[in-house]
């Protein structure tokens, strides 16, 4: 059992909080992603779990045991970083075997375990190559195999794909997903890339300025963002957000009027996703085209409504000129309402 519990975890340097009052339970075999912009405290959280950083306050429990005072090597955790940190003078086989030697695992087991780990990341045929003779993606897979070979209770992965080019990132991401399904080891994965988070995670923890903003499945976070920060961080393009006033279920802002909402009267922030709205139809907004982007399977139309840019996904054959007036339909059912002051979700 490798359930991980973080209880009131805080990391403070002087008066600066890197992480504040973090409470989280990561289930045995769960794939949990820590997601947030640079500096939000993801890596610090991970380093505290690994034992590379002391928590200022709080308890870190792994499998029911408090590990705050345990050395990293005694926590049964394997880590994969964005820099692969392979030994340049060892070949692939020796690099993967290294953790077994360090841990004094009987030599008779090495061959089989190294081969199994290498096969899992499809490196079987590269065993004799040095890291300098491998591509970036292959090196990252050696790093993965080196973590797998230990058969740890917990995997920690810190932006393992960030040094790879876009295409390799997608294929290695799929490989990590497949591996996690096969290995079923509790995994905490750090990224600032929301697509990586959405595709890999059982649950996502969205962080900002050392604080947890929301914990949920990818679907929960996408469909019910807890606040405007999560709403604008998840999804591409970001959720359209506009300020206005609610009166008896009608939202009115600059250039927009939407009826049939259930929300309070007074100032409110309204949000909707580009893919939920449509061009034509209800004409809750009519505004000039600011830009058109061809996406292949669709056309992203951005209009300038009042001072705000509003994006809507149109069919791929939709065409208009910059400056043309376009009507956008925004049914009440696709709208999210947030507190105008705090940004917290209303409802």
Residue with smallest beta-carbon separation from ligand ATP:
43
Q: Pick from 4, 18, 97, 312: which binds ligand ATP (CB under 6 A)?
A: 18
- Token pair belonging to 51: 């034992």
- Kindly state the smallest distance separating residue 329's Cβ from ligand ATP, in Å: 38
Distance CA 279, CA 61 (A): 52
For residues 16 and 317, which CB has a smaller minimum distance to ligand ATP in the complex? 16
Considering the rule CB under 6 A, would residue 246 count as an interface residue with ligand ATP?
no
Considering the rule CB under 6 A, would residue 42 count as an interface residue with ligand ATP?
yes
- Token pair belonging to 291: 């830009």
Q: Pick from 15, 38, 132, 341: which binds ligand ATP (CB under 6 A)?
A: 38
For residues 37 and 267, which CB has a smaller minimum distance to ligand ATP in the complex? 37
Q: Which residue has the tokens 């339970």?
A: 25
Q: What is the chain's length?
A: 347
| Size of site (CB under 6 A) for ligand ATP | 12
Instruction: Count Cα neighbours of 25 within 13 Å in the Cβ-side half-sphere.
Output: 5
For residues 207 and 242, which CB has a smaller minimum distance to ligand ATP in the complex? 207
**Residue 269: beta bridge partners?**
243, 338
- Kindly state the smallest distance separating residue 145's Cβ from ligand ATP, in Å: 24
Q: Pick from 192, 224, 257, 304: which binds ligand ATP (CB under 6 A)?
A: 192
Q: Residue 291 in 3-state DSSP? A: strand
Q: Pick from 31, 32, 36, 300: which binds ligand ATP (CB under 6 A)?
A: 36
Which is nearest to 213 in space by CA: 15, 21, 14, 17?
21
Instruction: Specify the DSSP class assigned to residue 2.
Output: -
Contacts (Cβ under 8 Å, ≥6 apart) of 189: 31, 32, 33, 34, 155, 156, 157, 160, 176, 196, 200, 201
Q: Pick from 40, 221, 230, 239: which binds ligand ATP (CB under 6 A)?
A: 40
Considering the rule CB under 6 A, would residue 43 count as an interface residue with ligand ATP?
yes
Considering the rule CB under 6 A, would residue 44 count as an interface residue with ligand ATP?
yes
Considering the rule CB under 6 A, would residue 13 count as an interface residue with ligand ATP?
yes
Cite the beta strand spans of 192-298 per DSSP E: 203-208, 211-216, 240-247, 250-253, 256-258, 266-272, 278-279, 285-294
Q: Pick from 39, 63, 306, 331: which binds ligand ATP (CB under 6 A)?
A: 39
Cis check for the bond before 167: say yes or no (omega within 30 of 0).
Answer: no
For residues 207 and 268, which CB has a smaller minimum distance to ligand ATP in the complex? 207
For residues 215 and 278, which CB has a smaller minimum distance to ligand ATP in the complex? 215
- Kindly state the smallest distance separating residue 81's Cβ from ligand ATP, in Å: 11
Distance CA 281, CA 228 (A): 27
For residues 77 and 312, which CB has a smaller minimum distance to ligand ATP in the complex? 77
Chain Cα centroid distance, residue 282: 35
Q: Map the footprint of ligand ATP across residues 63-92, applying CB under 6 A.
A: none
For residues 121 and 205, which CB has a smaller minimum distance to ligand ATP in the complex? 205
Instruction: Specify the DSSP class assigned to residue 273.
Output: -
Give the residues lining the site for ligand ATP (CB under 6 A): 13, 16, 18, 36, 38-44, 192
């Amino acid at each position: 059992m490798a359930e991980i519990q973080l209880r009131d975890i805080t990391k403070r340097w002087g008066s600066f909080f890197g992480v504040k009052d973090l409470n989280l339970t990561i289930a045995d075999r769960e794939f949990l992603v820590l997601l947030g912009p640079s500096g939000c405290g993801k890596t610090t959280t991970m380093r505290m779990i690994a034992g590379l950083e002391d928590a200022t306050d709080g308890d870190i429990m792994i499998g029911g045991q408090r590990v705050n005072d345990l050395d990293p090597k005694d926590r049964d955790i394997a880590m994969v970083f964005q820099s692969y940190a392979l030994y340049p003078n060892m070949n692939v086989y020796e690099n993967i075997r290294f953790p077994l030697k360090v841990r004094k695992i009987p030599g008779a087991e090495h061959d089989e375990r190294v081969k199994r780990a290498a096969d899992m990341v499809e490196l079987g045929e590269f065993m004799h190559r040095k890291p300098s003779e491998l591509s970036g993606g292959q090196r990252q897979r050696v790093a993965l195999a080196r973590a797998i070979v230990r058969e740890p209770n917990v995997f920690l992965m810190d932006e393992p794909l960030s040094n790879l080019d876009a295409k390799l990132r997608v294929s290695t991401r799929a490989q990590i997903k497949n591996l996690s399904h096969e290995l079923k080891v509790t995994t905490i994965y750090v990224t600032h890339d929301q697509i990586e988070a959405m595709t890999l995670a059982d649950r996502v923890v969205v962080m900002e300025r050392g604080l947890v903003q929301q914990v949920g499945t990818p679907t929960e976070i996408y469909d019910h963002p807890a606040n405007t920060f999560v709403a604008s961080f998840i999804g591409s393009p970001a959720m359209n957000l506009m300020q206005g006033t609610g009166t008896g279920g009608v939202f009115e802002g600059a250039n927009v009027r939407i009826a049939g909402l259930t929300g309070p009267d007074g100032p409110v922030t309204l949000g909707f996703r580009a893919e939920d709205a449509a061009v034509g139809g209800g004409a809750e907004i009519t505004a000039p085209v600011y830009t058109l982007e061809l996406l292949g399977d669709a056309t992203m139309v951005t209009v300038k409504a009042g001072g705000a840019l509003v994006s809507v996904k149109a069919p791929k054959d939709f065409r208009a000129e910059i400056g043309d007036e376009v009507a956008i339909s925004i049914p009440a059912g696709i709208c999210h309402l947030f507190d105008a002051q705090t940004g917290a979700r209303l409802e």
